[in-house]
């Protein structure tokens, strides 16, 4: 949390707004990533994974951001061989982030 608050200049109100933005964004972006993998569309995978990675980094979700980065690299290199495995991993990591955010919001 310390790292997130540094990214947000210690603004708790902004933190909640960002959590809400992220929770809105996450299902849609994960769906975009899945669709890109299913269609073998490397550039779409690159773009969607890059966007999700950026948001995850602001939320200091380092592990989830690393997984998104792996998919981004696969997209950029047009090498989608193991993409489904990484996607499952990403879903799991994003679910953890979502749980954390929802618990945090509920505790406020």
Considering the complex, what minimum distance in angstroms separates the CB of residue 1 from other proteins? Answer: 15
Nearest one of 82, 96, 89, 97 to 68, comparing CA atoms: 89
Considering the complex, what minimum distance in angstroms separates the CB of residue 87 from other proteins? Answer: 20
Considering the complex, what minimum distance in angstroms separates the CB of residue 67 from other proteins? Answer: 15
Please report, as ranges, the residues that interact with other proteins according to CB under 8 A: 6-9, 11, 14, 17-18, 21-22, 24-25, 47, 50-51, 53-55, 57-59
Per the listing, tokens 């995850």 go with 56
Q: What b-and-e string marks burial along 31-55, b requiring 16 or more CB atoms within 10 Å of the CB?
A: ebbbebbeeebbebbbbbbbbbbeb
Name which of 35 and 84 has its Cβ closer to other proteins. 35
Name which of 13 and 81 has its Cβ closer to other proteins. 13
């Amino acid at each position: 949390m310390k790292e997130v608050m540094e990214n947000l200049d210690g603004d708790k109100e902004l933190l909640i707004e960002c959590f809400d933005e992220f929770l809105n964004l996450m299902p849609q972006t994960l769906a975009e990533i899945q669709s890109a993998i299913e269609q073998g569309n490397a550039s779409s995978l690159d773009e969607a994974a890059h966007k999700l990675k950026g948001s995850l980094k602001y939320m200091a979700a380092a592990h989830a951001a690393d997984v998104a980065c792996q998919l981004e690299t696969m997209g950029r290199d047009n090498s989608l061989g193991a993409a489904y495995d990484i996607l499952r991993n990403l879903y799991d990591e994003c679910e953890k982030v979502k749980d954390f955010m929802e618990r945090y919001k509920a505790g406020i």
